[in-house]
Structures are given as structure tokens and as C-alpha cells.
Copies of this chain bind each other. A is one copy, B any other.
């Protein structure tokens, strides 16, 4: 059998899962392509944004991972398009031919066409964005200490998170902890209560993948951390000056984090369906090109009439499943339809609070938090990272401290003139939050 070349796009959970299956197979050559040189543990990215973890603790160098897989090579670069006919993927102008292709390029933030989101809000999908949020929040606090303009000070000390899914909720919880335990001690010039953390959700409740009981618990926990939760609130526009809701209410803010929507990051050349995702057969390949598999957030597959959730367990399972189907195909065996194992839902709300729903078993509080901790440490790729993340968490837990508060790139902020420029009706609403 001639050597076959498998190209894997994306070193996320799906891509690494596929490498684990294929990287030691004889007669196979594997090329892993990613625009970054590290695998990012996305479920903990919000902790980098909120100064709880250091960036390298959730990022593993891909080449270190690949050491154990002698058949696998790494190419750092942006995949630009796929040519299904020629069986070639183009990476920064260079064509890479494949016999099999596994696309696991994940998802990106989606703004629903709302004006100003792309320009003024920050997503939370990459390490760069997480560090951007951290630098901006810390810079805003320093700037607030120095400013004399009360309106500007208010905007500097208001952090808005749009989207009440797991990312938004966990980030709001972490920022609430910062507010409660760190700001008062570190910024005697600010009264702790001055810092506003506002979580905006368009739907009727937070975490709609969870039960209603869990949603209520989460909302109450966030409120006890000082987070303002606005439900059934839709963002009409994000501007330099803040967030305008469809209700007309205006929230002055210089830090708006967007976790309200995601879309698949399908690249040109792939046939797409809803949300820029790629529909596959149950065996996870593209009907038009059976040697092309799609795994993870970008895959659109309905099981029992419902699309699979875009979460880490789906990606991990589909990455290995697609790889195993390639092996079956090579051996002339029948490919198997993907079977999703629902791992349940987990969300954490800061120190020792979490909700867990594992099948019919639902629990919350400290026990859920320990479960969350165990699951995340187990899945953290790389032994060293596990140890360091654990020691960082233990330190935070014991000292109520957040130690990673260094500003890499200081941000500058509007001088406050944008409030004066704003039309009267909006200005009248400024700072008059109801409820």
C-alpha cells in the first residue's frame, strides 16, 4: 500500500484527537496545519481574560505534542482555501496536496450584523483576544484613578459582557470575583462598588442549555458577586462610548466583550450550510468529497433532529471518530456513523461555585466546582500544564488573590467627548439604569 497523506487543519480538540489516532500509523503521513504554534485549551480562556491564569498555562506548543507522533509534521500558517477537485489545500499561497483531509478549524465570533460589534467589541475565541481584554480592563482601572471627569470614570469602570452562555457566564463570574476580592484591596482610590460588571442576555434566562433551576442558581450566584444581569435585552449598537440596547437604554462602557454568537470558520472551497458550518454525513465526511472530513464546531450534523452542540467534547469525539473512519476506509472496512456521548454540562462561577448536569444527575455548589476542577485538569493537555494550572488555582483559592495582573500593552481610551457628541435622547439615558 502506497503511503497516504492526511492533512489536518486546526490544532484544536478535533485536530489533536485525529493526530492521536493517526500519528503512529504505518503507511500514513500526517501534516497538521495551524496559524498558531500552540494548541489552546479554550474552555479556560476566560481565566486568562480575567487575570486568573497565565497564557502559556492553557497553550501547549504543538511541536512538543507532536514529539510522540513520528509520522506527523507541523506547518504553521493560515489555511486559505480548499480545492476539492484537485485535492489540495492552500496554506499562505503554498498548495499542500492531500489524500484525506480533516477540517477542524473551529468557529469564530458572529455579530448578527449589529453595528459596531466588529469594531468596538472584543470576542473571546483566541489568546490574543483574551490578553486584549485583560490589558484593556487593567488599563481602564489605572486610567479611572487618574481621570477627573466623572462620566468618563463611570465608562472606564463599566465592563459589559454580551451573551449569557457558558463563556459569558464564566467570564462574568471571574470578573465578579475580581471585583469582590481584588479591586477593593488593590485600588483604595476606587470604591469597590464603583466597578460595574453587566451581563446582557437576549433570552429569558442564562445558560439555556441547562435546566431552569440551574439557570436561577447561576443568576443568583452572579448577583451575589455584584454582577448586574440584564435578561431579555438585545444590543442595538456598540460604539466607542458604550452599548445601546434596543430598549433605548445606553450603558457607557469602554470594554465590551462579545460572547453572544458563533459561526463556523469554514474556509473557501467547502460547501457551507447554516452559520457557515459544513454539513456532513453521519460518518463525518462531506457528501461532495468523501475524502474530506469535518470535525468539531465547524461540523453541522443533526442527531435525533437536533444539531450537535458546539462544545469541546463534540470536537474531541469527532476528531478521533473521523480519523478512525479514515483508517476503516483505508482497510476497506465500512465507515461507522458518529455516536455522540453526551458528557453533560458544567459551568463555574468563581470560587467554589458551579453547576453540573451529568445526564439526569444535577448538582451545584462546592461539589460541582470540584467536579469542574477535576474534569478540566484531566483534559488539560500536557502534564506540566496540569500541575501549573492546579498550583495557580490553589494559590488563588487560598489567598483570594489574582496574581497575573500585569499590563502588556497599555490601552488608551476616549477622552469623554463622545458623550457630549451623542444625541440628546441617548445622553439623557446615560447612567440611569433601571432596576
How many chain-A residues does the 8 Å CB contact rule pick out? 46
Residue A378 at the chain B interface, CB threshold 8 Å:
no
Residues of B within 8 A of A209 (CB): none
Residues of B within 8 A of A367 (CB): none
Q: List 15 A-B contacts (CB under 8 A).
A: A37-B405, A37-B406, A38-B405, A54-B56, A56-B403, A63-B186, A63-B187, A64-B186, A67-B186, A75-B145, A75-B146, A76-B142, A76-B145, A131-B408, A387-B391
Residues of B within 8 A of A404 (CB): 56
Given contacts A146-B94, A391-B387, contact A63 B408 (CB under 8 A): no
Residues of B within 8 A of A387 (CB): 391, 395
Residues of B within 8 A of A392 (CB): 388
Given contacts A54-B54, A64-B186, contact A36 B391 (CB under 8 A): no
A37 and B189: CB pair below 8 A?
A: no
Residues of B within 8 A of A401 (CB): 64, 384
A405 and B64: CB pair below 8 A?
A: yes
Given contacts A391-B387, A391-B391, contact A407 B64 (CB under 8 A): no
CA distance A77 to B143 in the complex (A): 9
Nearest B residue to A35 via CB reads B410
Given contacts A54-B54, A408-B127, contact A403 B142 (CB under 8 A): no
Residue A28 at the chain B interface, CB threshold 8 Å:
no
A61 and B406: CB pair below 8 A?
A: yes
CA distance A54 to B48 in the complex (A): 13
B395 and A384: CB pair below 8 A?
A: yes
CA distance A67 to B399 in the complex (A): 14
Residues of B within 8 A of A187 (CB): 63
A384 and B403: CB pair below 8 A?
A: yes
